[in-house]
């Protein structure tokens, strides 16, 4: 698969000290890549630099093998969907969509056909005569998306486009965007601070922290194998315990695990709640002894918190069938199906 977008040694620093340094990224043709991280991590700086809305201090940006670093936004083969819809309120949906095509000197018949197809793609057929004020937030964002799709960009840029929508609509729009991306084969770069959004949408995720990249990988790998303690803290729920690495083993109390990274000394052990198992008591000498502190029923499963005298509270996910035999105050034993270890001195970025 050919490379559609290359970001090479991109650096952009603001007077405040925020910004990005030495960002390198390749995006394949037809791929949806998400830049994920908290506010101020640099993800929007990268996106706006790709779109030409920011001038980097150094580095290069290539689209389809051609440098676009010197080109203004309107000359780049990109299109951006913003968080705010940026629709002209005095124009109908048709005119909002047709505007960019008229500038490109397309014929009226071609424009009519293209607008009709774009509205079908975003599930708004027949909305040509409506005005933005007559549309819901979700419908306005669909029109904004259709406007960008009509320009047939080599790379579509999306800057937290669904963050103003309610949770249910956000979920629907994510599904629709993924469907559109698969239908059109468009290359997309998506920015969000919402990890669920990133995990559900992306072919690959770029986890950013304080202006640099922590990890680039497929969603499942980011979740299963966070490369750094920062990624482990940021993606999904995670338990953290102190352990000791010694030779071939990592020890957490009476539990032992393989020391695949060949770590030595004190380590931070990370365990997903779904990888924590409970048994009636740690009297077999293999588990960690604890007491159930809290139980929260969350539909088809429950989150059970267990107090461990040496390690604090550990969160576990249990099936709704399993919790019939559990109660607050019950003594239990804990074991881990899998874990990941990190050196204690690793810079976790806060």
Banded pLDDT at 276 (limits 50, 70, 90) = very high
Compute the C-alpha angle 178/48/213, nearest 5°.
75
Inside any domain, residue 349: no
Of the pLDDT bands very low, low, confident and very high (cuts 50, 70, 90), residue 122 is: confident
Nearest-CA neighbor of 116 among 156, 167, 150, 152? 150
pLDDT for 3: 95
Tell whether 172 and 75 lie within a shared domain.
yes
**Average pLDDT of 294-318?**
92
Q: What is the mean pLDDT of residues 269-288?
A: 81
Q: Residue 163 has what pLDDT?
A: 83
pLDDT at 183: 87
Please check the confidence at residue 26 and state whether its pLDDT lies above 50.
Answer: yes
Q: Does a structural domain hold residue 326?
A: yes
More confident residue, 18 or 32: 32
Give the other-Cβ count within 10 Å of 265's Cβ.
Answer: 10
Query: Is residue 1 very low, low, confident or very high in pLDDT (cuts 50, 70, 90)?
Result: low
> Domain of 306?
237-343
Residue 350 has what pLDDT?
39
Domain annotation covers residue 164: yes
Cα(261)–Cα(220) distance, rounded to whole angstroms? 20
Residue 303 buriedness (CB in 10 A; 0-12 / 13-18 / 19+): middle
Q: What is the CATH number of the domain that holds 207?
A: 3.40.50.300
d(Cα 326, Cα 280) in Å, to the nearest integer?
9
CATH code, 339: 2.40.50.100
What pLDDT, on a 0 to 100 scale, did the predictor assign at position 74? 87
pLDDT score for 282: 47
The C-alpha atoms of residue 53 and residue 66 are separated, in whole angstroms, by: 18
**Average of per-residue pLDDT across 254-277:** 93
Among residues of the chain, what percentage have pLDDT more than 70?
97
User: Any idea which of 65-74, 204-213, 280-289, 336-345 has the lowest mean pLDDT?
Assistant: 280-289
Residue 321 has a pLDDT of: 84
In this structure, is residue 243 part of a structural domain? yes
Q: Point out the domain boundary residue: 183, 214, 230.
A: 230
């Amino acid at each position: 698969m050919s490379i559609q977008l290359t970001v090479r040694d991109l650096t952009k620093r603001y007077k405040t000290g925020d910004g990005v340094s030495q960002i390198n990224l390749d995006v394949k043709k037809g791929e949806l890549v998400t830049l994920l991280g908290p506010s101020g991590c640099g993800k929007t700086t990268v996106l706006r630099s790709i779109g030409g809305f920011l001038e980097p201090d150094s580095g290069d940006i290539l689209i389809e093998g051609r440098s676009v670093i010197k080109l203004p936004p309107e000359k780049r083969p990109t299109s951006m969907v913003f968080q705010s819809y940026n629709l002209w309120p005095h124009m109908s949906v048709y005119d909002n969509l047709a505007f960019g095509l008229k500038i490109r000197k397309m014929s009226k018949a071609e424009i009519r056909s293209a607008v009709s197809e774009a509205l079908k793609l975003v599930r708004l057929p027949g909305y040509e005569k409506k005005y933005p004020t007559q549309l819901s937030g979700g419908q306005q964002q669909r029109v904004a998306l259709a406007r960008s799709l009509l320009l047939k960009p080599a790379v579509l840029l999306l800057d937290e486009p669904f963050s103003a929508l309610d949770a249910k609509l956000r979920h629907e729009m994510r599904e629709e965007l993924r469907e559109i991306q698969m239908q059109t084969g468009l290359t997309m770069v998506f920015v969000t601070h919402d990890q669920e959004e990133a995990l559900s949408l992306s072919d690959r995720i770029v986890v950013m922290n304080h202006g640099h990249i922590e990890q680039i990988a497929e969603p499942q790998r980011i979740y299963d194998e966070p490369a750094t303690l920062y990624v482990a803290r940021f993606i999904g729920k995670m338990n953290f315990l102190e352990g000791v690495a010694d030779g071939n083993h990592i020890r957490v109390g009476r539990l032992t695990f393989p020391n695949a990274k060949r770590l030595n000394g004190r380590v931070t052990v990370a365990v997903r709640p779904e990888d924590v198992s409970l048994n009636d008591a740690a009297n077999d000498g293999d588990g960690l002894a604890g007491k159930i502190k809290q139980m929260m029923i969350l539909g088809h499963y429950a989150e059970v918190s267990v107090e461990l005298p040496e390690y604090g509270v550990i969160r576990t996910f249990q099936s709704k069938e399993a919790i019939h035999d559990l109660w607050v105050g019950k003594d239990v034993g804990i074991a881990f199906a899998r874990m990941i270890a990190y050196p204690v001195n690793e810079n976790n970025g806060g």
